[in-house]
Amino acid sequence: MAVTVDLKLRALEERDLRTIPAAFAELGWPGKDENKFCRYLSEQAAGDRAVVVAELNGWFAGYVTVVWNSDYRPFLDAGIPEIKDFNVLPAYRRRGIGSALMDAAERLVARRTTIVGLGVGLYSDYGTAQRMYAKRGYVPDGRGIMYAGEPVPPGQAVRIDDDACLMYTRELA
């Protein structure tokens, strides 16, 4: 996989409030609407979230966010920032954009602390992310399957959707 040379990483800006949702609408991906990115922009301005946007040749290619105070209680209690909502558009995958976004997110976290966390879904749509996180040194936090941020007790059935995940951490150098 070659790293893309014409890649620009930058913070979320007001101009993105139309282009990013339009890119996801074109793919038919729900939940990536203008309201979400307005909230992200507001949270970024307040210092609660950092948003890194990737552009390739001037076109939106993906983004990642870092939430400084995770809503996952064990991360919050330990002061572990969480990488959340990491997406690279399918047309731009396998060009090093995802790795560049993760590098940028980890650098942001490393300025404040030595540990970063994230959650990863359990079904095949998350397979590429699961492999990427393992290669980057992320390990499960040992609390088992979470559903909407809460532990799933043994024997309990859960719906496997975007709310079902394993939480991971990584020590940053």
Residue 2 forms part of a structural domain: no
Chain mean position to CA 111: 18
Residue 74 forms part of a structural domain: yes
Range of the domain at 104: 7-171
Tell me the pLDDT of the chain (173 aa) as tens digits.
Answer: 555 568 999 999 999 999 999 999 999 988 899 999 999 999 999 999 999 999 999 999 999 999 999 999 999 999 999 999 999 999 999 889 999 999 999 999 999 999 999 999 999 999 999 999 999 999 999 999 999 999 999 999 999 999 999 999 999 98
Q: Is 46 exposed, middle or buried (0-12, 13-18, 19+ CB in 10 A)?
A: exposed
Q: Is 57 exposed, middle or buried (0-12, 13-18, 19+ CB in 10 A)?
A: exposed
pLDDT of residue 4: 53
Q: How far is CA 12 from CA 4, 36, 44, 109, in A?
A: 20, 12, 8, 17
pLDDT of residue 2: 53
**CATH code of the domain covering residue 130:** 3.40.630.30
Q: Is the pTM of the predicted complex or chain greater than 0.75?
A: yes
Token output for 169? 């951490």
pLDDT of residue 5: 64
Output helix, strand, coil percentages for the chain, rounded to the nearest 5.
Answer: 35, 30, 35
Residue 1 forms part of a structural domain: no
Residue 43 forms part of a structural domain: yes
pLDDT of residue 173: 80
How many domains is the chain partitioned into structurally? 1
| Alpha helices per DSSP H over 51-164 | 73-78, 97-110, 127-135
Q: How far apart are CA 155 and CA 92, in angstroms?
A: 40
* Residue 87: count of CB within 10 angstroms of its CB: 20
pLDDT of residue 3: 52
pLDDT of residue 30: 85
Q: How far apart are CA 97 and CA 153, in angstroms?
A: 37
